[in-house]
Structure 1
């Protein structure tokens, strides 16, 4: 955020946000005057200036101030102190992951549980996947005279099955030859490249038959659908930690957060954004594209192996989130997960950035 504030206003804004994060209560000028070493009148004037700048607001005339989304954004980008996890916490987390280092399925559950406990809010984790699917091979198996089963295997291990219509005179031997030719044409190709193969008819001889084109187009569609839905599985933990926050004292808010976490669809749109980004992503309140998330902040980071497979780890909480602690927790867990992935695949891990 390109907004110039003098040093005193920066101090006042930082103090307001830190106190509001700690207390969930609008901050009055007299509460800050003593700690900042200035008069209440000075603090009131600076708060008024910060409100004019859109960084603070108030619920009614005599109420104290609380941060706006823009205020939180300025705090995250310019004012907050680093809050690295302690050495003891890091060792404990590393030990927990070390105990299950060979069991990938358990990483996801442990990462969510550890992150929820560390950040004291809800945690979300997606499994590691190839976010751009790559073709590995297909098999074509005759079911009866008119149907063929296509078994598609992707590079990261996912298997898709689909039935296709076939000429009644096609034998299993012919299907195996067709599968072999398509495996050669599509070796390690992306969905986009496979679409091009179907459309441009490669120079290989003989030309592709109509059935071969049908198979290749079906492969491309299956891979595209896989990429679209690869992040539907979002594991979460920490609901109780989140509900301890004063913002969730009403039944309607409890139902709302349950809908966000259990439904998953509200967070789905954020996963591709995190997968395509470096470092920790912080989305605050109204910055979300969905109105249902306007009262929440989400902190996400990609983890995994560069150029191969990756997932997302992060937290969801009220806008009044302990951002320094939450960001450090997400960054650290993402780093641990990347180390595990690097060891598993023997490749260069994704390095979390600032």
Structure 2
């Protein structure tokens, strides 16, 4: 497919996408010739538009003579065609000055980041507070409460405490519970959930396991508790810019407005993206049908992590219709993530630890 993308087709695809982003109206060959003073005839442009449609980059709305980009067209544009221009020096100075004025208030950083992202990208913004997203085991206590009832007290590396009671088939003395807790503390020291899951699976598959039934049960409870905490943290988003987003023509229908409101309030469509963003470097762009959840397939999301590696990290970005001003949105997300990382690095005193 790439071999069929001639320079002329690349130019025409770029112009169609830029025009469609600006106007939200399907683009006809006559407009391209007239507006951009192309040296090709309208007939030639029409042939190339048909070829680009055949390649899957454009679509032809039956009610219009023009073409509109597909998700694949936007992806090709983002990766190969768009102009990568940073925010102007004036915008950068203004943004840094705004953050400097609230430099001692972390909560205000989050709100300011959301407001600047929404205003600059003219779409809804999403920001999470910086935190240790990967729950890590620190300490465990098993306390006999009454007969066969045991209280599990789990302490995580960030200071989070989880308590849960469970019932055994037969009572066990406190001394035995304490020995099992000490054994698990040694096995799980500073471990993330993935390593504890590996330990649990390995023990269950072993011919001569080193852990007894009680200890395996406790490990299973620990994995579930840590997983629930990560899921909870991954769904906590601060959002801004709903008005900017709803000004887009894509949200003329009430049903679409209701959908985006629910998505921003629940964070369900965004939560699954967090592990992907945390595991990557730079800005991540997810376009339309590339989302795993059906309710997200009419939206594009531009996200980046920020923070201090191995300490605290957060996620920030922009969500909007697939007809998004990608160059400006990506530049904005990249710059705000840099500012937030710089501020957190100053707080933690580790320039080399930038996320």
TM-score tier (shorter): 0.7 to 0.9
- 1:17 corresponds to which residue? 17
Aligned to 2:207: none
Distance in 2 (alpha carbons) for counterparts of 1:117 and 1:335: 18
**Partner of residue 48, structure 1:** 50
Q: Secondary structure at the match of 2:2?
A: coil
> 1 CA distance for matches of 2:108 and 2:156?
22
Cα RMSD, aligned residues only: 2.9
Which residue matches 1:204? Answer: none
Q: CA deviation at 1:324?
A: 0.1
Deviation at 1:52, TM superposition (A): 2.2
Aligned counterparts, 1:164-313, within 5 A: 164-165=166-167, 170=173, 182-195=184-197, 200=203, 214-313=217-316
Any conservation in 1 of the 2:71–2:289 contact (CA below 8 Å)? yes
Q: How many residues align?
A: 345
Provide the secondary structure at the position in 2 that maps to 1:123.
strand
Output the TM-score relative to the length of structure 2.
0.85
Query: What are the ranges of 5 or more consecutive residues in structure 1 without an aligned counterpart?
Result: 202-206
Counterpart CA distance in 2 for 1:62 and 1:208 is: 68
Name the CA distance, whole Å, in 1 between partners of 2:191 and 2:121.
40
Unaligned 5+ runs, structure 2:
205-209
Partner of 1:37 in structure 2? Answer: 38
Kindly indicate whether residue 77 of structure 2 is the aligned counterpart of residue 75 of structure 1. Answer: yes
CA contact (8 A) 2:310 2:353 kept: no
For the 8 Å contact 2:153–2:164, the answer to whether it is kept is yes
Question: Could you tell me how far apart the structure 2 residues matched to 1:196 and 1:290 are?
Answer: 28
Is the counterpart of residue 342 in structure 1 residue 345 in structure 2? yes
Which whole-Å CA distance do the structure 2 matches of 1:134 and 1:219 have between them?
Answer: 11
Q: Report matched runs for 1:76-91 at 5 Å.
A: 76-91=78-93
Which digits, 9 at most, give the CA deviation of each residue in 1:225-253, with x for residues without a partner? 32344301122111100001111112122
1:340 offset after TM fit, Å? 2.7
The answer (yes or no) to whether the contact 2:153–2:163 under 8 Å persists in 1 is yes
1:126 equivalent in structure 2? 128
Between 96-105 and 110-119, the greater mean CA deviation after superposition: 96-105
- CA contact 1:299–1:315 (8 Å) conserved in 2: yes
Partners of 2:98 and 2:289 in 1: CA distance: 36
